[in-house]
């Protein structure tokens, strides 16, 4: 089985772990983006499982994995929506921060210091897997996507987000976010590890997933906010894959 861990990448996020829930700290970009990516995730899961997002706990009865959960910025709202959430991260300090915060706000989330491969070896399975802003940090992206597929039950949903690899993404994510705005420490991202939408779609297809949707997440410097785009996938984007129901 492939081990997708990259220990140098894990160490970067370990060093920033205490700031996960500080909206003005090193994870400010994620806090700003979170409402848009949460909206995308919930729409995709609701569409696949026929759930009504207007109900109080629309994901009741669904088991969900947030792999690379960090401090729990997505795990917590998914738990509030009724899902049975497992949050997993390879960085132990992230899990400590996430567990403490969930306890403080009264949420029951099963946080684990585990990788996708370890969960697979444990025989875990899920209705939905979220892998947001993680695939560009793993050692073997294709192997990681395969592990995410294997963790899904037939008919399950994989939602991923990452960064495109082109000159615009270099300007926005490296020069803009790290050098100019200083939203992130220099070196947080390596542009060469960014993945184009076509590359990610190919990884999903090769893993046995049907690519159901792809959408850009676009930052507007005038409104100072994020929105989804069907056409502009040039920097940040999300993609949904479905594990075919006829699989065993």
With the CA atoms of 138, 140, 145 and 148 taken in that order, what torsion angle do they form, in degrees rounded to the nearest 10? Answer: -70
How confident is the model at residue 47, as a pLDDT? 97
* 75-100 confidence digits (pLDDT tens): 999 999 999 999 999 999 999 999 99
17, 93 contact by CB (below 8 A) = yes
Question: Does pTM top 0.85 for this prediction?
Answer: yes
From CA 208, how far away is CA 123, in angstroms rounded?
A: 19
What are the residues whose beta carbons fall under 8 Å from the beta carbon of 199, sequence distance 6 or more? Answer: none
Q: Where are the alpha helices (DSSP H) in the chain?
A: 7-15, 28-49, 75-80, 92-104, 116-121, 141-151, 167-169, 197-207
Order of strands across the sheet with 84-88?
A: 110-112, 84-88, 63-67, 126-132, 152-163, 236-243, 209-220, 225-229
How confident is the model at residue 137, as a pLDDT? 85
| HSE of 130, CA atoms in CB hemisphere, 13 A | 33
3, 115 contact by CB (below 8 A) = yes
Is 1's pLDDT higher than 60?
no
- Of the ranges 136-145, 175-184, 198-207, 234-243, which one carries the lowest mean pLDDT score? 175-184
* 103-152 confidence digits (pLDDT tens): 999 999 999 999 999 999 999 999 999 999 999 889 999 999 999 999 99
């Amino acid at each position: 089985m492939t081990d997708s861990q990259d220990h140098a990448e894990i160490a970067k996020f370990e060093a920033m772990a205490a700031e996960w829930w500080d909206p003005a700290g090193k994870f400010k970009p994620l806090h700003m983006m979170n409402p848009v990516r949460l909206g995308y995730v919930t729409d995709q899961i609701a569409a696949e499982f026929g759930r009504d997002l207007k109900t109080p706990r629309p994901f009741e009865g669904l088991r969900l994995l947030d792999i690379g959960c960090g401090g729990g910025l997505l795990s917590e709202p998914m738990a509030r929506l009724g899902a049975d959430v497992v949050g997993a991260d390879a960085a132990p300090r992230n899990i400590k921060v996430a567990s403490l915060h969930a306890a403080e706000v009264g949420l029951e989330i099963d946080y684990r210091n585990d990788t996708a491969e370890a969960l697979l070896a444990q025989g875990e399975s899920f209705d939905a897997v979220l892998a947001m802003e993680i695939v560009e940090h793993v050692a073997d992206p294709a192997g990681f996507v395969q592990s995410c597929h294997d963790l899904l039950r037939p008919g399950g949903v994989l939602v991923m987000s990452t960064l495109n690899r082109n000159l615009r993404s270099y300007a926005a994510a490296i020069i803009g976010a790290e050098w100019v705005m200083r939203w992130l420490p220099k070196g947080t991202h390596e542009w060469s590890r960014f993945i184009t939408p076509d590359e990610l779609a190919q990884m999903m297809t090769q893993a046995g997933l049907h690519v159901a949707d792809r959408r850009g997440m676009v930052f507007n410097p005038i409104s100072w906010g994020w929105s989804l785009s069907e056409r502009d996938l040039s920097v940040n984007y999300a993609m949904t894959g479905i594990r075919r129901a006829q699989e065993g």
